[in-house]
Amino acid sequence: MNPPVLPIRVSGALRSLGSLLLSGAILAAADSGTPVPAAPARPDWAADLAFLRTELPRRHKNLFFQTERAVFEQRLDALAREASGLSDLGVALRLQEIITAQGDDHSGAVWTQLPGRPRTSPLPLGLYWFSDGWRILSVGPDHPQLLGRRLLAVNGIPMAEVEQRLAALLSTHPVVVKARLPGLFALPEVLRHCRLVTGDQLRLRCADEAGREEEMAFPLAPPSPASGPLRSVTPQGGRLALGWRDQRSILWSTVLADSRLFYAQYNRCDGREVAERRGDKAAAAKLPSLEGLFAQTLADLTTALAEGKVDAFVFDLRHNSGGASDFGTRFAQKLAQLPALRGPGRVYVILGRRTFSSAILNARDFQRLLDATLVGEATSGTANHYGEVQTFVLPSSRLPIAYSTKYFGTPGGKLEPLQPALPAEMSFADFREGRDRPLEAILLHRAQFLKPKSR
């Protein structure tokens, strides 16, 4: 059955803050460019929580779709009783946990924009979840021995428990936690809030490729500038898998002649036109035209098809966390007019744990209009979801609160990740070898349509 027709919409992040994880709608939506007034010496949190108790349910499209109002209010009451014993940042983080528990990944307390928040530098410690566990992919220059190690525990706390504690600030969906945990893990104030550290260092229990375990100390401080740049795990031969090579460009493409595939990677639903919609003239001046990028991609694809160089199209959304969906929708509509892309084994969409919001809506467009086969990992966002984010600020602390104003998808549909028909997760060995598992899965799938039929 084809998915229902979805309306043209702008969903999810309205503007990216560009930084560490937490790069989904919660942080992105609140960066409106409006100056936030300075907070008083100590906010009146009781007044702020009372204000939020009525204001967030009033503004949100459906705040209690998953958790009852009584539970939400009980949690606010508990925080109000404990606020005097917490730092302002601690209250903001607790409030983020309360809103996260409501189940809407587009809503939350934008604690990174709390006025007067103590600023700490991120730790030089980059993690990534592979199919065989958490790995350390980058570190400061003083700890090269950690590179590539599998992370088993932090200060004696197993990684499963670390995930659970950080998930309280991230999402009720496990895939979102996989995608966004590394950004939180790099923030010392978050590690302390989640009781993952109490002193001035992390004790990291790691395992090497032979399974030998070792515990190593890692300081809760950034490296000195004199110590040099971060060190990262590099694939053998220094060549990343195709889908990992260029995550910065908005939209790029190439012809894979040996595979007869036209490959396009769409990394974010953003461009000059989207910036103009939100009134950001400075960003619009720096961004390319998204309409123009899609027009050029369509022209290149049409030429490659006409010249007989390709006979299938791959649309890679694995790194796309959303923005404005209507450009991708129109692109899918134009592709649907090409006879060469009709039939099984002709159109594929690659999904990943970072695929969120409008990118999911575009994946559904490709399913509906082109009968595309979905490949890769489950998405962090859900096919049916609340979005179209707006914000308000709490009157005393001036803490921004992001909330959803619209519902997208099938009425009454489950809020579950979009699942690939062809699962393809990357292991650490795949990363080291520069293998692109989703592309391999596509080639294997296409082979069954290209085989001569036996008589």
Residue 57 lies in a domain: no
Residue 150 lies in a domain: no
Residue 401 lies in a domain: no
Residue 277 lies in a domain: yes
Residue 50 lies in a domain: no
Residue 348 lies in a domain: yes
- Nearest-angstrom CA–CA distance, 268 and 16: 10
- Domain span at residue 346 reads 238-388+409-448
- Nearest-angstrom CA–CA distance, 165 and 192: 11
Residue at token pair 């467009």 = 365
Picking from 270, 325, 231, the residue whose alpha carbon sits closest to that of residue 18 is 270
Residue 249 lies in a domain: yes
Beta strands in 220-310 (DSSP E): 231-232, 251-256, 261-266
**412-422, pLDDT tens digit by residue?**
777 788 999 99
Q: What is the mean pLDDT of residues 143-159?
A: 95
Residue 296 lies in a domain: yes
pLDDT (0 to 100) of residue 37: 53
Mean pLDDT across the chain, nearest whole number? 87
Confidence band for 226, pLDDT divided at 50, 70 and 90: low
CATH assignment of the domain containing 348: 3.90.226.10
DSSP label at residue 21 = S
- Determine which of 22-36, 146-160, 220-234, 433-447 has the lowest per-residue pLDDT on average: 22-36
Number of domains in the chain: 1
Q: What is the mean pLDDT of residues 137-151?
A: 93
pLDDT (0 to 100) of residue 20: 26
